[in-house]
Amino acid sequence: MKITAVEAIPFAIPYTKPLKFASGEVHAAEHVLVRVHTDDGIVGVAEAPPRPFTYGETQTGIVAVIEQIFAPALIGLTLTEREVAHHRLARTVGNPTAKAAVDMAMWDAFGHTVGLPVSDLLGGYTDRMRVSHMLGFDDPAKMVAEAERMHDAYGITTFKVKVGRRPVSLDTAVVRALRERFGDAVELYVDGNRGWSPSESLRAMREMSDLGLLFAEELCPADDVFGRRWLVGQLDIPFIADESVPTPADVTREVLGGSATAISIKTARTGFTGSARVHHLAEGLGLEVVMGNQIDGQIGTACAIAFGTAYERTARYAGELSNFLDMSDDLLTMPLQISDGQLHRRPGAGLGIAIDPDKLARYRTDL
Ligand code: MUC
Ligand code: MG
């Protein structure tokens, strides 16, 4: 169970449909495959998605921090020394997705070593989750058509609508068009990626007050400290903190400060070890949680479903588990399948996934 090597392999897979949102846009999955090797010949995998507009990480930076700092700090530890690994990774500030991928690859390797699924090792609550699909910026007719496609092809009935454009009516028109098209047959919520000011956010939420929204996520920046507290205090639905809460301490700060009332858990940024800490904190504080999406590929989505199915609280709402459908290809030998609006966690040890060597050879960008 001793770690002998940690690899960081950059790869690039184009999106068939780019995702656009208030803080940026993504046209290709330029991610980093992380592989943790042990002296038993076990290999654990995970992926890190660089999101410079969210965490400041780049693909080159993720490879460098893993190769230069994390790998030397972890080689020689056993897979059960997770707390030691966590503290060694924490000596480096920032780099959330690089740390998370290393952590999750260690868990995958541990699952393979003991012959058990990661989801069972974490909590083993259920084997499936309902799926929520993120709809990126476009005009109302195209966003409705995209929702129809996801509804008809995959049975998806929950949509997170990206908002945060100016004027706010650009986005409120989309949400209204979706509600008019689907009626009560779908759940809708909105994510502003910090695009609006607090007052624009309140105006938009008032315009949409008859549309039965489930949540509002990160409509304005957490750094608008009083403005955001003012906004959250006036809403009658939970306000989800996402990129403003990359650590448990941030969750505490935002929630106790009145700037958030629900939490997005993203395994891409807190791994399994950190996500468990956020989950337990949310349980202790009595907060609702949603399993979020860092525009994950299929490896990242396998991680999110493994964690989301482990606990009752994370499996309660639809999880954001479908945006890999917009990628032109992926690295797994067996693709994830969404049907009837649900994704099952993979059976089998670890994450239950295997990397296709031919696909990795085609898409890696370091050789
Ligand atoms: C989200 O929930 O914000 C958009 C940017 C990012 O980093 O993640 C996505 C989804
Ligand atoms: Mg978000």
Active site residue 298: no
Confidence of residue 258 (pLDDT cuts 50, 70, 90): very high
Predicted pLDDT of residue 183: 98
Average pLDDT value over all residues in the chain = 98
* Residue 245 near residue 254, CB atoms below 8 Å: yes
- Residue 233 belongs to what H/E stretch? helix 225-234
Q: How far apart are the first and last CA of the chain?
A: 29
Q: Percent of the chain scored above 90 by pLDDT?
A: 100
pLDDT of residue 223: 97
Share of the chain above pLDDT 70, in %: 100
pLDDT digits (tens, 9 = 90+) for 86-130: 999 999 999 999 999 999 999 999 999 999 999 999 999 999 999
Tell me the average pLDDT across 230-241.
Answer: 98
pLDDT in tens, 15-29: 999 999 999 999 999
Residue 16 neighbours by CB distance under 10 Å? 9
Which tens digit of pLDDT belongs to each residue from 48-98?
Answer: 999 999 999 999 999 999 999 999 999 999 999 999 999 999 999 999 999
Ligand 2 ion local residues (Cβ < 5 A)? 191, 217, 242
pTM for the full model?
0.98
22 ligand 1 Cβ < 6 A:
no
Our answer on whether the CB atom of 21 is closer than 6 Å to any ligand 1 atom is: yes
Q: Give the integer Cα–Cα distance in Å for 300 and 361.
A: 19
pLDDT level of residue 1 (50, 70, 90 thresholds): very high
Predicted confidence at residue 288, as pLDDT, reads 97
| 146 CB within 6 A, ligand 1 | no
Q: Calculate how far, in angstroms, residue 270's C-alpha sits from the geometric centre of ligand 2.
A: 14
- Residue 154 · residue 320 · CB < 8 Å: no
294 lines ligand 1 (CB under 6 A): yes
